[in-house]
Amino acid sequence: MSIQKSQIEAALGTVMEPDLGKDLMTLGMVQDIAIDESGNVSFSVVLTTPACPMKESIKQSCIDAIKQAVPEVGAINANMTSKVTSSCSHGGHGGHSGHGGNEAHSGHGAPQKIDLPNVKNIIAVASGKGGVGKSTVSVNLAVSLAASGAKVGLIDADLYGPSIPTLFGLQNVKPEVKDNKIMPIEKFGVKLMSIGFLVDPETALIWRGPMASSAIRQLISDVDWQELDYLIFDLPPGTGDIQLTLVQALPLTGAVVVTTPQDVALADVSKAVTMFRKVDVSILGVVENMSWYELPDGTKDYIFGKAGGEKFAKINALTFLGSIPISSKVREGGDTGTPSIIANPDAPTSVAASKVAGEVARQVSIHNAACATG
């Protein structure tokens, strides 16, 4: 007897999406089941992110489940695709579209929300202080998600020290303006915008408070982003007024907090965590950068202390997204304008950075699934 579609559906109904805690059929992730006369089966699995770290294991589970339930099956072709889910935190998705839902937290009323309806997820990358590698982590996150197949934008709002132009080797580039919209600059598959493309640092330096905030608002809302799965937002370092205004103005999916293992950085990072909690922005997790230096004999030198970021995450009930070691390649990549993840994709730091990117994407998917049902 020939194989029935219902048999394949039943088999795939036993395969769990480990992060979302439900089976693939219930989640509606299986499409285009086809069975030919020789008993060969093909189907697509639509994951919630192309950067899904579980992709291969889910694929194998599908194959195993079908083989077990339908032993006479021929070849199995599982086509792993994805459609990135949207955050509930922006308009049109049932979340608050921002009439100052957080007024209670701000002395002068929450700033009006900037709505970017074509951007599915905005992820803020923050740190308590400068120099911990926040921009480097943002760049590697953006480039890595783009390499996985996602549509990615990256925005650098550090008025007093924009770094994206240097990190991408775009020091003298000026973006085009079309129909009153600023065109992002595209490099390494990422759409980029930086305050550094628009004004020279001396001009930005004299901006204070409201001037700075309104410049940054324009930087976000006047750009022609088109459709994006992820917009990575490299926040200015620190936890002052500018940062607070920004995290309130954007419909953020969540925040990634970067720290080094040192206690001082950790004391600062507590302030960042407190800031996000105060305005009800979910924290997707903590990344520890500059975790160790690998000596020529392969041993690790924990220059800034060991596992501080992980301990910090645990104490604060946050997800730990991974550790990135110290490497001169990372610094060189930054200085020469080719992110190390592109220049040296197999280096331990690059492998670590892609792993972090997968974890961030995973936390976004989990967050979106929870906010869609809850």
Ligand X SMILES: Nc1ncnc2c1ncn2[C@@H]1O[C@H](COP(=O)(O)OP(=O)(O)O)[C@@H](O)[C@H]1O
Instruction: Pick out the residues of the known binding site for ATP.
Output: 128-135
Residues near ligand X (CB under 6 A), total: 19
Q: CA–CA distance from 199 to each of 136, 147, 179 (Å)? A: 22, 30, 20
Which 302-361 positions form the footprint of ligand X (CB under 6 A)? 324, 326-327, 330-331, 334, 349
What's the closest the beta carbon of residue 117 comes to Mg ion, in angstroms? 28
For 113-185, where are the alpha helices, taking DSSP H only? 134-147, 164-167
The DSSP call for residue 105 is G
Residues 123/252, Cβ–Cβ less than 8 Å? yes
Question: Which of the residues 101 through 160 are near ligand X (CB under 6 A)?
Answer: 127, 130-136
Report the residue closest to Mg ion, judged by CB: 135
Pick the closer one to ligand X by CB: 101 or 130: 130
Question: Residue 160: helix, strand or coil by DSSP?
Answer: coil
* Residue 289 beta carbon to Mg ion: minimum distance, rounded to whole angstroms: 12
Contact flag: residue 135 with Mg ion (CB under 5 A): yes
Q: Which residues are annotated binding-site positions?
A: 128-135
* Number of separate helices (H) and strands (E) present in the chain: 13, 16
Window of 161-169, 177-185, 275-283, 311-319 that interacts with Mg ion by CB under 5 A: 161-169
Give the contact letters, 212-251, x = binds to ligand X (CB under 6 A), - = no.
-------------------------x--------------
Give the sign of the dihedral formed by CA 358, CA 326, CA 283, CA 280. Answer: negative
Query: Looking at this protein, which amino acid is placed at residue 48?
Result: T
Q: How far is the CB of 127 from ligand X (least distance, A)?
A: 5
Give burial (CB, 10 Å; 0-12/13-18/19+) of 146.
Answer: buried
Residue 40 or 262 having the CB closest to ligand X: 262
Count of other CB atoms within 10 angstroms of residue 185: 19
**What is the β-pairing status of strands 22-23 and 185-187?**
unpaired
In the bound state with ligand X, the residue whose beta carbon lies nearer, of 61 and 354, is: 354
Of Mg ion, ligand X, none, which one sits near residue 184, judging by CB under 5 to 8 A according to partner kind? none
- Any idea what DSSP says for residue 223? B
List the x/- string, 268-307, binding to ligand X by CB under 6 A. Answer: ---------------------xx-----------------
Return the DSSP state at 287: E
CA–CA separation, 26 and 241 (whole Å):
44
Comparison of 322 and 358: residue with beta carbon closer to ligand X: 322
265 binds ligand X (CB under 6 A): no
The reply to whether 138 sits near Mg ion by the rule CB under 5 A is no
Q: Provide the terminal-to-terminal Cα distance of the chain, rounded to the nearest Å.
A: 44
The span from the CA of 240 to the CA of 261, in Å, is: 23
Residues found near Mg ion in the complex (CB under 5 A): 134-135, 163
Residues found near ligand X in the complex (CB under 6 A): 127, 130-136, 163, 237, 289-290, 324, 326-327, 330-331, 334, 349
